[in-house]
Chain A
């Protein structure tokens, strides 16, 4: 297949989300061999054992799915439909194909819109859900550049945050549940450590402004994270407080 080429596998710096070894790639029913599937934020790649393979850009991917219907295809797999042509010198997207009459509206070319069907068949079928989910997340990072409706909300004309802030102070804050899901594993570990520090930092007698004691942490714990840890441990311990 002439579209196969050699390139280094994506790394975490490329936004690599999932990699699945021992995965067969099939294009339009023709097997390409067994290799490793890489799902990265920038593109989807597959490389066989000798380092040869191909990449797919998310804007060219029309849809993807998990297929477990063995009547349709004898193995459970990740199905990816791509809006491009393969098997020639280079994958040609519809845009690059010269269009008669100079029309730029792609919708009028639906009859000859190229479709390529990829199937990625991992030996470990239990990985299919995670691969599907990773692809969904990466696809969401590549919204359609030709979508005019959503453009109205970009750029300086429509400052989304300023608009929302006019209606309440909150938008730059996350609720606890919302915010937690945005933290990486490292972030969550840091959050746990800081919360542990807060719990230990000051004894329960003290409840000065800016310092949260063990009891008050429980009462006021609502996810509105305010950094109230004293910069010097025990800084307020000699304060004479008795509210």
Chain B
């Protein structure tokens, strides 16, 4: 499960519902944009600023015409809604994302603090 490399982004995600959107990675979702257009595709990535990258997208413009786009990146500012797929359990998704963040944060410490020469079992 991928977690952001940035401490700041992890903190933002942990403290907002963006973390739910990050859990949608790999799922096909519909995103309504602020300008009344719609993008439906597979979620590639969502960052802490709600910038969304979709793949294999059907993009519907304001006139209702549809085009296929291979990759689409929407700035967070322009997102109005993200439709959560019906079969996604929201609470579980959020909990899994939080666990992923905590695993990265506590890497190697196991609560004992950093040890200079870890035992052999560490790879």
Contacts and interface: CB of A to CB of B under 8 A. Distances in A.
Interface of A: 61-69, 71-73, 79, 83, 107, 110, 113, 115, 128-129, 132, 135-136, 139-140, 143-144, 146-147, 149-150, 152-153, 158, 160-161, 163-164, 167-171, 173-175, 178, 181-182, 219-222, 224, 226
Interface stretch (B19-27, B64-72, B88-96): B64-72
21 contacts: A61-B75, A62-B74, A63-B33, A64-B72, A65-B70, A67-B68, A71-B67, A110-B36, A115-B35, A129-B71, A135-B73, A140-B51, A149-B16, A150-B49, A160-B11, A167-B106, A178-B5, A181-B5, A182-B5, A220-B117, A224-B114
Contact of A161 (B7, B49, B77): B7
B56 to A, nearest CB: 11
A224 to B, nearest CB: 6
Interface of B: 5, 7-8, 11-12, 15-16, 33-36, 47-49, 51, 53, 57, 59, 67-78, 104-109, 111, 113-114, 116-118, 120, 122-123
Given A171-B7, A178-B5, A220-B118, A66 B70 contact: yes
Contacts of B8: 153, 160
Contact of A170 (B35, B73, B107, B118): B107
B68 A68 contact: yes
A182 B34 CA distance: 33
Contacts of A115: 35
Contact of B109 (A72, A140, A169, A178): A169
A192 to B, nearest CB: 19
B59 A65 contact: yes
Contacts of B34: 107, 110
Q: Which 9 A-B pairs have the closest CB atoms?
A: A72-B67, A69-B68, A65-B72, A222-B122, A65-B69, A66-B70, A144-B77, A143-B49, A169-B114
Contact of A65 (B51, B57, B105, B108): B57
A13 to B, nearest CB: 24
B11 A144 contact: no
Contact of B67 (A64, A67, A129, A139): A67
A220 B122 contact: yes
A66 to B, nearest CB: 4
Contacts of B117: 220
Contacts of B113: 168-169
B69 A147 contact: no
A164 B78 contact: no
